[in-house]
Amino acid sequence: MELDLLAFAAHRDDNEITCGGTLARMAAKGLQVGACDLSQGEMGTLGSAADREAECAEATRLLGLAERINARLPDSSIFNTREYQIRLVEILRKHRPKTVILPGLEQRHPDHRITPQLVFDACYFAGLEKFEPGLGGKKHRPRKILWCHTQFEDRKPTFVVDITDVMDRKIASVLAYRTQFPDRDKTTEWLRARARAAGLLGGCTYAEGFTQRETMIVDDVVGMPGVSI
């Protein structure tokens, strides 16, 4: 299935935490939205790969995603290698996303820190006609790449997405990972606090923050969103 939007993350549950509200909102708009987990989460202290697969299926349903992909890279051993780039190029050429969401660059877990550079490089190579001759699929390069904003970054996000209407769905998708989040009340409070902080930056109740490298062109400065004073 060709996708409008495809979010990548290192482990099952990462996409739900970082951009689950955005994925749910875009899916509700009728876009073809997918998520790709690079690993099966087999190294997690709690639960097993099989547990997390079943939980992931429920979270996928709750978010209304059209596609859930697992690259089956080794958990806690994700590196930016040619082998792994090729695997991701195959995924990108198969699903041909218009926009890709990546984890934030500043991260504590090594897998989380390496994933955005690995996938970014794969997005570039996927658009090269002569990349790895014999590799299937027509060349494809996403038009837009976004990075999730994290609490480890000093700078503000470039923009936020209002997820107020789908906040409950985001929370439910995270809580679907019962082995990872046994304290439902604490997890809910944490998710609301994160989303509220992003929402305050954009003037809405709940939001998710993102960064982009490009400077945007504004056609109508009078109609721009946001209040300055």
- Please report, for the chain, the start and end positions of each structural domain, with discontinuous segments joined by +: 5-211
Among the listed residues 77, 36, 47, the one whose alpha carbon sits nearest the alpha carbon of residue 176: 47
- Answer yes or no: is pLDDT of 151 > 90: no
What is the dihedral sign for C-alpha 131, 143, 30, 197?
Answer: positive
pLDDT confidence of residue 94: 97
How far apart are the C-alpha atoms of 129 and 3, rounded to whole Å?
21
pLDDT confidence of residue 145: 98
- Tokens 């960064």 — which residue? 211
**In this structure, how many other beta carbons lie within 10 angstroms of the beta carbon of residue 223?**
7
Tell me what the mean pLDDT of segment 147-154 comes to.
86
Residue type, 172: A
Is 5-211 CATH 3.30.365.10? no
Binned at pLDDT 50, 70 and 90, residue 43 comes out as confident
Tell me what the mean pLDDT of segment 175-188 comes to.
97
Q: What are phi and psi of 8, to 5 degrees?
A: -110, 145
Tell me what the mean pLDDT of segment 112-116 comes to.
95
Binned at pLDDT 50, 70 and 90, residue 65 comes out as very high
Listed in order, strand segments (DSSP E) in 10-49 are 33-39
pTM for the model stands at: 0.95
How far apart are the C-alpha atoms of 192 and 18, rounded to whole Å?
12
SS3 state at 46: coil
Higher local confidence (pLDDT), 81 or 135: 81
pLDDT one-digit tens code per residue, 10-42: 999 999 999 999 999 999 999 999 999 999 988
- Answer yes or no: is pLDDT of 172 > 90: yes
What is the pLDDT of the chain when averaged over all its residues? 95
